[in-house]
Copies of this chain bind each other. A is one copy, B any other.
Amino acid sequence: MTIPKKVTSAPPTANVLSPLPARGAEEATEALLSADGVRVERIVSHGQSSPAGFWYDQDEAEWVLVLRGRARLTIEGETQDRELGPGDSLFLPAHCRHRVAWTQADGPTIWLAIFIDARLAPKPVG
């Protein structure tokens, strides 16, 4: 791969808070950035939660940040849900089973999610 020595332009600025997709039956997921082993997504919830008995069980680690709204996340094995509001972030190791217990119904909850392959050894800092 050739890496240019000098680059004099960048793609247009994009806002992750607007526009938002119309409220639908499902959460709306949009890829923002991709790289080998890395994926950044915006997820917009409107009161959706994970189906009863469903657990996310991912090969990738996920770092998630609530940009707007409110949500509750259940992590299997933990006795208390994680209450998440604006600015709250959470690192979910690969195969940390979790589900979305609740998102607010009276407005969008906007998540920024970074998925990183376990082979890149992702870890939270600080």
Could you say how many copies of this chain the assembly holds? 2
**In the assembled complex, A124 has its CB within 8 A of some CB on chain B:** yes
A31 partner residues in chain B, CB cutoff 8 A: 125-126
Q: A90 in the interface, Cβ–Cβ < 8 Å? A: yes
Q: Is the CB of B33 within 8 A of A63?
A: yes
User: How many residues of A are in contact with the other chain, CB < 8 A?
Assistant: 62
With a CB–CB cut-off of 8 A, which chain B residues contact A11?
A: 90-91, 124
Q: Does A101 contact B (CB under 8 A)?
A: no
Measured between beta carbons, the chain B residues less than 8 angstroms from A126 are 14, 30-32
Contact bitstring A7-37, B, C-beta under 8 A = 1, else 0: 1111101111110000000000011111111
